A and B are shown apart, each in its own frame.
Chain A
Amino acid sequence: MTGAALPAPRITAKQRPGDRIFSSAAVLAGSLILVTLAAVTIFLIAQGIPGILAEPGETTILRDRDFWSYVGPLAFGTLWAAALALVMATPLSVGIALFISHFAPRRLAQVLGYVIDLLAAVPSVVFGLWGGLVLAPLVRPMYAWLTENAGWIPIFNGQASATGRTILTAAIVLAVMILPIMTAINREVFLQTPRLHEEAALALGSTRWEMIRMAVLPFGRAGMVSAAMLGLGRALGETMAVAMVLSPSTVVSFFVLGSTNPNTIAANIALSFPEAYGAGVNVLIATGLVLFVVTFVVNALARYVVNRRREFSGAN
């Protein structure tokens, strides 16, 4: 009765010109992101290579060093300031996030979240102004006290600065600046803890701290790590706060209270660029390239950690 059944004719949708134009525009816009990032890398490398290969004595910026001994102390300063800021900000952000998510009354929690987010809205130049003009004089007596009484600790061993504009002050300002973003991520993570786990812990008679320790913190470990890494990435790239607070010099030192402080890459670029010329500009661009690579790696790692545990961590 039936021979081979004919295959049904394929139905293709009519391609409207409007659809074509719109979807091409969307793809174009998306590709522009790729192009921009590629352009950033290419331009930085193209203009930075002459700086990396510059001979000592060729530019006023390098004086008689080669590029790597110029960027070395700067990289140390960047990492040291960011590490100090992270050490101060991490426990604080975990504490604040715990307070907002588990300790504060429900109605108050949203308002408190907004208040912490207010810190994120303040521009960095205003933080720099506050740090240089208000915080530095405020902490100066504390530094004097620390060098006198706690001088046996290596980072406090030396002659205290007379202006209070040291790398520790800059690290405090950095810590205040990275606090809101870390707190926001931690807060999200702690709020995503499964209610059943929390209630099970409480039902077994644990105190609130024990419940947090057993149910909330282990669940949020990946989120806390990624928050710390994002804060680190932000602190590494921060320019104005450090430029306005620090009194810089080229030195690699772990003494945090003195008047000779290592400068950071970003602050060095901001301060030296307006007067730079010729190959000096290439040197500065090359230091910017170094900074770009470091923050790229830190941010990529942070996002990878979050995405790997996305189903479990709840941080998005």
Chain B
Amino acid sequence: MAVTTATPNALTNGRLPRLAPWAILLGSWAVVAVVMGLFTLAGTVGEFSLVGTIFFGTILYGVAIYVVSLSVEGRRQAVDRLVTALVLTAFIIALLPLVSLLTTVVANGTARFDLDFFTMSQRNVVGAGGGALHAIVGTLLMTGVATLISVPIGLMTAVYLVEYGRGALARAITFLVDVMTGIPSIVAGLFAYAMFALIFGPGVRMGFAGAVALSVLMIPVVVRACEELLKLVPNELREASYALGVPKWLTITKVVLPTSIAGITTGVMLAISRVIGETAPLLLVAGFTQSMNYDPFDGRMQSLPVFVFTSYANQGTDGAAYIERAWAGALTLIVIVMVLNLAARLIARIFAPKLGR
């Protein structure tokens, strides 16, 4: 009579079963939950904290998986499992602020997300009521003027770097564009103030100065994005154009730029979404005001980020109303930035030239 013994499976020998890590994770959470519950009942801990349970449970999981894996699989596999746990925890930790931020902004911002908010300014409003129309109009005006300044300069610089630049000037420009991406936004604001103070005298506050500060921040982003895209255009297109006798400037404007126009649009929209949230330079040179201002060359102009900041920092009599307006302004900002980002990526996906077969 044959004695049947299970032949050991060489592939799973000395390894933890596939679902073992999940089981150990749930087990450590359960253990910590029970311990927390006992502490709460005994009165050592004030109240049962879910966050604390998950936090200590995850620490316990790290220790447990290492010990279990060490005994079954060996030291190398144990370290590997521990690192996997650490890396996953790092990712979750990075997600927590994002989730917390988005939920708080949406939860608190919808309180004042009403018609008043988008149709009234803060003129003569003390306490509750009023809206952010002056801020929204100011943001659109200043960002629009900044785009008008930055896109031509940025695009032509990218054209120079890709099509013409071959020497020291091109190297210097590349290095300086890199440096410009690192200028703190407040330094750009100080520069705009210093320049306009020289012309108009100290204490100048102007929407146009804010636009200039924003364009200092925007130009390097536009240059970088356009440069990448212009480099992506295949050289065969340019060579075919030259072979037909088309002058260089017509080649660039009629062949290269239309090919990369989708990407350029995307880059410009991403640059806009980056500067539309800049507060510090606008706080310095555009100032803040309660009334509508449609003229970029005349006096202070409110903008949405500065509106959020002043509602938070300079609260009036009814503090809660100011905070509510701040949250609503923050929600508006986030919605604008997200819409711009998504639209930019969609345009890039849909309208990009299909290179190759």
- Residues of A at the B interface (CB closer than 8 Å) are 16, 18-19, 21-23, 25-34, 36-37, 39-40, 43-44, 46-47, 91-92, 95-96, 98-100, 103, 112, 115-116, 118-119, 121-130, 132-135, 176, 179, 183, 207-210, 212, 230, 233-234, 236-240, 243-244, 266, 269-270, 273-274, 277-278, 281, 284-285, 288, 291-292, 295-296, 298-300, 303
Q: Are A125 and B309 in contact (CB under 8 A)?
A: yes
Alpha-carbon distance A210/B77, docked complex (angstroms)? 10
> Of B91, B157, B185, which contacts A33 at CB under 8 A?
B157
> Of A23, A37, A127, which contacts B164 at CB under 8 A?
A23
> Of B97, B100, B219, B249, which contacts A23 at CB under 8 A?
B249
5 nearest A-B pairs in the assembled complex, by CB-CB distance: A123-B277, A237-B184, A95-B90, A29-B156, A22-B249
Alpha-carbon distance A127/B309, docked complex (angstroms)? 11
Contact A96-B187, Cβ < 8 Å, known A22-B249, A43-B195: no
Binding stretch for chain A, among B6-14, B80-88, B122-130, B140-148:
B80-88
Alpha-carbon distance A236/B182, docked complex (angstroms)? 10
B229 within 8 A of A: no
Contacts of A296 in B (CB 8 A): 179, 182
Q: Are A47 and B194 in contact (CB under 8 A)?
A: yes
Q: Specify the chain B residue showing the minimal Cβ separation from A179.
A: B94
Output the residue of B76, B95, B330 with the most chain A CB within 10 A. Answer: B330
Question: Could you show 29 A-B contacts with beta carbons less than 8 Å apart?
Answer: A22-B253, A23-B164, A27-B169, A29-B154, A29-B160, A31-B173, A32-B153, A36-B180, A36-B216, A37-B176, A40-B188, A43-B194, A44-B190, A46-B194, A92-B90, A95-B87, A123-B278, A124-B279, A125-B333, A176-B97, A209-B79, A238-B184, A240-B280, A240-B305, A288-B186, A295-B184, A295-B187, A296-B179, A299-B181
Q: How far is the CB of B228 from chain A (nearest CB, A)?
A: 9
Q: Are A236 and B184 in contact (CB under 8 A)?
A: yes
Q: Are B219 and A30 in contact (CB under 8 A)?
A: no
Contact A299-B179, Cβ < 8 Å, known A43-B198, A126-B334, A134-B100: yes
Output the residue of B89, B181, B247 with the most chain A CB within 10 A. Answer: B247
Contacts of B91 in A (CB 8 A): 95-96, 99-100, 112
Q: How far is the CB of B66 from chain A (nearest CB, A)?
A: 12
Tally of B interface residues using CB under 8 Å: 93
Q: Are B198 and A27 in contact (CB under 8 A)?
A: no
Q: Specify the chain B residue showing the minimal Cβ separation from A114.
A: B345
Alpha-carbon distance A95/B92, docked complex (angstroms)? 11
Contact A115-B98, Cβ < 8 Å, known A44-B194, A208-B80, A300-B179: yes
Contacts of B24 in A (CB 8 A): none
B119 within 8 A of A: no
Contacts of A133 in B (CB 8 A): 104, 312, 323
Contact A34-B186, Cβ < 8 Å, known A19-B247, A26-B159: no
Alpha-carbon distance A240/B172, docked complex (angstroms)? 32
Contacts of A179 in B (CB 8 A): 94
> Of B177, B186, B197, which contacts A270 at CB under 8 A?
B186
Q: How far is the CB of A289 from chain B (nearest CB, A)?
A: 8
Q: Specify the chain A residue showing the minimal Cβ separation from B93.
A: A92
Q: Are A30 and B161 in contact (CB under 8 A)?
A: yes
Q: Are B164 and A209 in contact (CB under 8 A)?
A: no
Q: Specify the chain B residue showing the minimal Cβ separation from A176.
A: B97
Q: Are A21 and B249 in contact (CB under 8 A)?
A: yes
Q: Are A124 and B277 in contact (CB under 8 A)?
A: yes
> Of A19, A98, A233, which contacts B249 at CB under 8 A?
A19
Alpha-carbon distance A98/B157, docked complex (angstroms)? 36
Q: Are B79 and A40 in contact (CB under 8 A)?
A: no
Contacts of A25 in B (CB 8 A): 156
Contacts of A288 in B (CB 8 A): 186-187, 190
Q: Are A18 and B312 in contact (CB under 8 A)?
A: no
Contacts of A239 in B (CB 8 A): 184-186, 279-280
Q: Are A30 and B169 in contact (CB under 8 A)?
A: yes
Alpha-carbon distance A98/B172, docked complex (angstroms)? 34
Q: How far is the CB of B140 from chain A (nearest CB, A)?
A: 15
Q: Are A266 and B249 in contact (CB under 8 A)?
A: no
Output the residue of A37, A44, A128, A296 with the most chain B CB within 10 A. Answer: A37
Q: Specify the chain A residue showing the minimal Cβ separation from B88.
A: A99
A-facing residues in B262-292 (Cβ within 8 Å): 273, 276-280, 283-284, 287-288
Interface string of B190-214 (1 = CB under 8 A from A): 1101110110001100000000000
Q: How far is the CB of A124 from chain B (nearest CB, A)?
A: 7
Interface string of B290-330 (1 = CB under 8 A from A): 00000000000000010011001100000000010011001
> Of B83, B101, B191, B249, which contacts A122 at CB under 8 A?
B101
Output the residue of B86, B190, B223, B309 with the most chain A CB within 10 A. Answer: B190
> Of B186, B223, B248, B330, which contacts A237 at CB under 8 A?
B186
Contacts of A238 in B (CB 8 A): 184
Alpha-carbon distance A212/B161, docked complex (angstroms)? 37
Alpha-carbon distance A132/B193, docked complex (angstroms)? 28
Contacts of B90 in A (CB 8 A): 91-92, 95-96, 99
Q: How far is the CB of B88 from chain A (nearest CB, A)?
A: 7
Alpha-carbon distance A292/B194, docked complex (angstroms)? 14
B338 within 8 A of A: yes
Alpha-carbon distance A30/B198, docked complex (angstroms)? 25
Contacts of B258 in A (CB 8 A): none
Contact A43-B191, Cβ < 8 Å, known A22-B248, A33-B180: yes
